[in-house]
Amino acid sequence: MGFTSNTKKTKKVFVIKVGGNIIDDDAKLDSFLRDFAAIKENKILVHGGGKLATSVGEAMGLKQLLIDGRRVTDAETLKVITMVYAGYINKNLVAKLQSLGCNAIGLCGADANIIKAHKRIHPTIDYGYVGDIDHVDTGFFKILFNNNVTPVFAPVTHDENGLLNTNADSIAKEIASAMSQLYHVHLVYCFEKSGVLMEPENDNSTIAQMNEATYLELKNKKIISSGMIPKLDNSFDALKSGVQKVLIGNADKLHDLLTYHSGTAIVHE
């Protein structure tokens, strides 16, 4: 069965996640979007938030804007996330991509019922409006690709009661995993660093290639910074569920990253 399904996969899909620090940096974002628009293969962009959510949240009187997936998302925080991520950031990315000749469409998980989620279940903590993903519908992406339309995804999903805040790295991983049933999927995590680093502040210490054994070893030695751990867990999960390649690196060097001239390649062995 593996053989049969693999022979059907003739097309490549890039699922590319770009982080909030890049959204806030006009020059890096422009460079990233130009390289993204120039990708000839089918592609999906997943974006995080940025500083605007914090400033809008503060303006609206939220004492602390709780956007980290590990913390509680109350109704007002969800409102700010929906406005800023699924509204302002998402639609501005779409408009910029359109101006670069990329026929983008801005979506969240509720749109066309693409990502169904449930409120996070935890024995003692109520995380509020935080969604963990149950299902990604690949059918609608296929329709968009067939019509040369590029999805741009905000980190918002839904259950039967409404919208839910969902971690953008997890959305990218789940979309990549689901799409890997139909396509050769490359998952790419783009941010402000050159990749996975041996020394946290030294971009020249980028690890070019990493398998799970190396990861566990470096994690045990506390060499991997704690912020990288969820991203790397997502990366190895993605490989195990059928994603062909995972790359981690600089958003403003996307072309170099995709051609293996920059960044960290996460590999099976």
- Interface ranges with its own copies (CB under 8 A): 56, 59-61, 79, 82-88, 90-92, 94-96, 98-99, 103-108, 110-113, 140, 143, 147, 149, 156, 158, 160-163
93/228 with CB nearer its own copies: 93
User: Would you say 30 or 217 has its CB closer to its own copies?
Assistant: 30
- Minimum Å distance from CB 157 to its own copies? 10
Residue 23 or 156: the one with the smaller Cβ distance to its own copies is 156
> C-alpha 257: how far from its chain's center?
16
Q: Which is nearer to its own copies, 154 or 187 (CB)?
A: 154
Q: In the complex, what is the shortest distance from the CB of residue 171 to its own copies, in angstroms, rounded to a whole number?
A: 15
**Beta carbons of 127 and 119 less than 8 angstroms apart:** yes
Residues 6+ apart with CB under 8 A from 58: 65
Minimum CB separation of residue 140 from its own copies in Å reads 7
C-alpha 74/C-alpha 126 separation (Å) is 10
CB of 91 to its own copies, least distance (A): 5
CA atoms within 13 A on the CB side of 128: 15
In sequence order, the 6+-apart residues with CB closer than 8 A to the CB of 201 are none
Tokens representing 34 are 């130009």
- Least Å distance, CB 56 to its own copies, is 7
Decide whether 96 or 253 has the Cβ nearer to its own copies. 96
DSSP designation for 260: T
Strand partners for 109: none
